[in-house]
Amino acid sequence: MTVDRDQVLRTAAALLTRKATATMDEVARAAGIGRATLHRHFAGRNALVKALEELGIQEIEAALDAARIEEGPAADALRRLIAGVEPAAGLLAFLVTENQLFEDDVNDGWDRLDARFSALFRRGQEQGEFRIDLSPAWLTEALYGLIGACAWTIQDGRAAAKDFPHMIAELLLGGARRSVET
């Protein structure tokens, strides 16, 4: 039997976004393969997480590209980005949490993502749309946190999936928008 590595990764991503503590045995069962087969593709949990990290970074970069974040008002670009990230939100939430275990082994992909997210926030600040007293780096981290929190809230049935873009954008923009005092 030929094992489709990409399908195993996607199955692992789906399982781990629902149950971050899933064992390699559980991942193998979910993928419909034996543990030995899983270990031939991924030497252990760390190798699996690193492969998932690559997949997640690719999906977020694709969402950034599709959202055309350099076009139009920054708030509109942010809304497009949030909607585009939604399919990978659970995986992103898992990876952000899991990567705290790998602080010394940082994937350059995270730097690319951070730079692109921060550039969007910086553009919004320069155009007078976003507050200037919050750094683009902080707004990026806050967005990651909101994406993860929203994914978990929906997964737990405490919010409707259709509200994902609205909940994140309105909470973040409500706090990020520059207010003009009269």
Provide the β-strand partners of residue 130. 177
SS3 state at 132? coil
Q: Please report the domains of the chain, with CATH numbers, ordered by start residue.
A: 1-43 (1.10.10), 52-176 (1.10.357.10)
The residues, ordered by sequence, that sit 6+ positions from 115 with a Cβ below 8 Å of its Cβ are none
Say how many C-beta atoms besides its own lie within 10 A of residue 51's C-beta: 18
SS3 state at 68? coil
Residue with tokens 């399908």: 7
Question: Average pLDDT, stretch 43-57?
Answer: 91
Candidates 71, 79, 64; CA nearest to 174 is: 79
Confidence (pLDDT) at 146 = 94
Instruction: Give the separation between CA 146 and CA 171, rounded to whole angstroms.
Output: 9
The predicted-structure confidence for 57-108, as pLDDT tens digits, reads as follows 999 999 999 999 999 999 999 999 999 999 999 888 888 877 666 666 667 8
For a pLDDT cut of 70, what percent of the chain falls above it?
91
Give the total residue count for the chain: 182
Instruction: Give the separation between CA 63 and CA 172, rounded to whole angstroms.
Output: 18
162 burial level (CB within 10 Å; 0-12, 13-18, 19+): exposed
Angle between helix 24-31 and 45-67 (nearest 10): 60
Which of 79-83, 107-111, 115-119 bottoms out in mean pLDDT, i.e. has the lowest?
107-111
Residue 161 region by backbone torsions, left for phi larger than 0, else alpha for psi between -120 and 50, else beta: alpha
Residue 114 pLDDT level (bands cut at 50, 70, 90):
very high
Whether residue 133 is predicted with pLDDT greater than 80 in this model: the reply is yes
Instruction: Give the separation between CA 160 and CA 110, rounded to whole angstroms.
Output: 29
